């Protein structure tokens, strides 16, 4: 299967830099991509704050790498001779860097192979050392990319490695075998969070933010931020397939002061709606056209709403949106809105007094059936408890009716992000007396 020693890389993330004169960059990229395709290892360009990393350099003779992660700062060198040995040798060295040892060095090797000391070239004995404290896979992998061939470092008098069971092939793969991959996935069972790249200095200081993807543009994102000076700004970004981030455009100064901001886009629309607390403290919706490359303000909701904080917005259709917020009396409040052709927004209906107190608010669309939409809100109540309330909202009329809630049984300190509609939770004490129809069930993940 495989064997390792030394320290693993946290999250399987191996930062690396490439020596400026390294000649095998294409081979290196292929080698690292092929490892990423089948394992949880991730190779990322080293950021300045990462003090332990791999430095890839040209090797004029043989390839080499330390085993595992060597902390303490500074780079650890992987030497590659890409034109002499190919992609497989680069993979082999990076497997060393990930912690893998030569298979025939594992502590229990005597059960599988015998080292013929007399046949080893003078001065090369260290290549056949047994590592007594290795972590070993359950199966000895005779074909491993980390296994020497039978005649490695032979002085010409015969093989240096002989399998215990005669006839076992010992010719080492030039690419990782299924057992090698299984071993790396044993050593690195989960995928870490990988910072591929960032927007560098492309964005200014921000105080709040939210984001949405562009319609029909899988590589574009709109972020909405509250700038350091308190202004609302939308910024469009392009995300390349390799994770590069480029700033495309922004909304300039088309919007005034804002806080408690959120953003939504209709399911098939290029119109984004930002929901904010304006400078006067009141809820305001602003529509924006963002088809890709430009961001234009269309219209807004005027003065149709009162004071609000903790604002969230969800699109039900391309023309019907619902906001949830904490009203000035401290209660959760929902309002439905119609987006008009000229970009203005008309208030349709609200939740009246159907919801109780709320200190923090989250909202998600669960499912739609014709003009009827089930929306879930979660709030942190004044006593620090989570309450989940499900609403039915009709996108033709805007009517909002409360369907059911979770009661008061879950104690929380903070509402996490939006609920996933895929999630589930078993409602042991769910109160459902005000609805005859079934209410979807949720798993509520708490921070
Ligand atoms: Zn090696």
pLDDT digits (tens, 9 = 90+) for 51-72: 889 999 888 777 888 899 997 7
**Active-site positions?**
93
The CA distance from 319 to 314, in Å, is 11
Residue 102 CA to ligand 1 centre (angstroms): 6
Q: Other CB atoms closer than 10 Å to residue 420's CB: what's the count? A: 12
End-to-end CA separation in angstroms for the chain? 38
**Cα–chain center distance at 224:** 20
CA 175 to chain centre: 28
Distances (CA, A) of 267 to 226, 285, 365: 25, 18, 12
**pLDDT digit string (tens) for the chain, length 447 residues:** 889 998 999 889 999 988 888 888 888 889 999 999 999 999 988 877 778 899 998 887 778 888 999 977 778 888 887 555 578 889 999 999 999 999 999 999 999 999 999 999 999 999 999 999 999 999 999 999 999 999 999 999 999 999 999 889 887 788 999 999 999 999 999 887 776 666 665 666 666 667 777 777 777 889 888 888 888 999 998 876 555 677 888 998 878 889 999 999 999 999 999 999 999 999 999 999 999 889 999 999 998 889 999 999 999 999 999 999 999 999 999 999 999 999 999 999 999 887 888 888 899 999 999 999 999 998 888 777 888 889 999 999 999 999 887 775 555 544 444 444 433 333 333 333 333 333 333 444 433
Rounded to two decimals, the pTM is: 0.56
Q: What are phi and psi of 409, to 5 degrees?
A: -90, -10
442 token code pair: 């949720």
Instruction: For residue 74, report the distance from its CA to the centre of ligand 1, in Å.
Output: 22
96 Cα to the center of ligand 1, angstroms: 7
Residues whose CB is less than 8 angstroms from the CB of residue 46 and which lie 6 or more positions away in sequence, other chains included: 15, 16, 17, 53
- Which tokens hold the place of 173? 């793969």
Measured in Å, residue 231 CA sits from the centre of ligand 1 at 57
CA of 10 to the centre of ligand 1 (A): 22
Q: Per DSSP, which regions of 148-205 are E strands?
A: 161-163
* C-alpha 64 – ligand 1 centre gap (Å): 6
Give all domains of the chain, ordered by start, each with its CATH number: 3-187 (3.40.390.10), 204-411 (2.130.10.10)
């Amino acid at each position: 299967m495989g064997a390792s020693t030394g320290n693993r890389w946290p999250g399987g993330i191996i930062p690396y830099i490439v020596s400026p004169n390294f000649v095998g960059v294409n081979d290196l990229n292929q080698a690292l991509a092929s490892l990423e395709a089948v394992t949880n290892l991730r190779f990322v360009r080293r950021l300045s704050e990462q003090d332990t990393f791999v430095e890839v350099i040209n090797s004029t003779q043989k390839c080499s790498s330390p085993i595992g992660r060597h902390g303490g700062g500074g780079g650890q060198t992987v030497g590659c001779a890409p034109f002499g040995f190919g992609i497989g040798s680069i993979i082999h060295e990076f497997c060393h860097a990930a912690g893998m040892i030569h298979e025939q060095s594992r502590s229990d090797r005597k059960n599988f192979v015998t080292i013929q000391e007399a046949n080893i070239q003078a001065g090369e004995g260290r290549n056949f050392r047994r590592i007594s404290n290795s972590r070993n896979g359950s199966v000895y992998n005779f074909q491993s990319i980390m296994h020497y061939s039978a005649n490695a470092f032979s002085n010409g008098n015969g093989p240096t490695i002989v399998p215990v069971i005669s006839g076992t092939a010992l010719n080492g793969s030039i690419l990782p075998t299924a057992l090698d991959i299984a071993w790396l996935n044993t050593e690195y069972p989960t995928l870490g969070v990988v910072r591929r790249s960032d927007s560098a200095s492309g964005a200014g200081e921000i105080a709040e933010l939210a984001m949405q993807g562009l319609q029909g543009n899988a590589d574009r994102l709109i972020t909405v931020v509250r700038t350091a000076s308190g202004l609302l700004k939308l910024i469009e970004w392009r995300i390349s397939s390799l994770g590069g981030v480029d700033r495309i455009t922004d909304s300039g100064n088309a919007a005034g002061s804002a806080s408690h901001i959120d953003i939504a886009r209709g399911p098939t629309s290029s119109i984004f709606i930002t929901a904010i607390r304006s400078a006067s403290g009141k809820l305001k919706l602003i529509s924006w056209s963002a088809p890709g490359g430009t961001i234009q303000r269309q219209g807004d909701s005027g003065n149709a709403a009162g004071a609000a904080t903790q604002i969230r917005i969800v699109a039900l259709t391309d023309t019907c949106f619902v906001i949830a917020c904490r009203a000035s009396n401290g209660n959760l409040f929902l309002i439905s809105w119609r987006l008009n052709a000229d970009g203005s927004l008309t208030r349709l209906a609200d939740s009246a007094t159907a919801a109780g107190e709320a200190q923090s608010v989250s909202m998600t669309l669960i499912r739609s059936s014709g003009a009827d939409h089930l929306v879930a809100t979660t709030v942190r109540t004044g006593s620090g408890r989570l309450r989940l309330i499900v609403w039915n909202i009709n996108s033709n009329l805007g009517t909002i009716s409360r369907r059911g809630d979770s009661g008061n049984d879950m104690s929380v300190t903070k509402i996490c992000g939006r609920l996933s509609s895929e999630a589930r939770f078993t409602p042991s004490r769910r109160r459902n007396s005000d609805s005859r129809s079934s209410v979807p069930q949720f798993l509520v993940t708490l921070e």
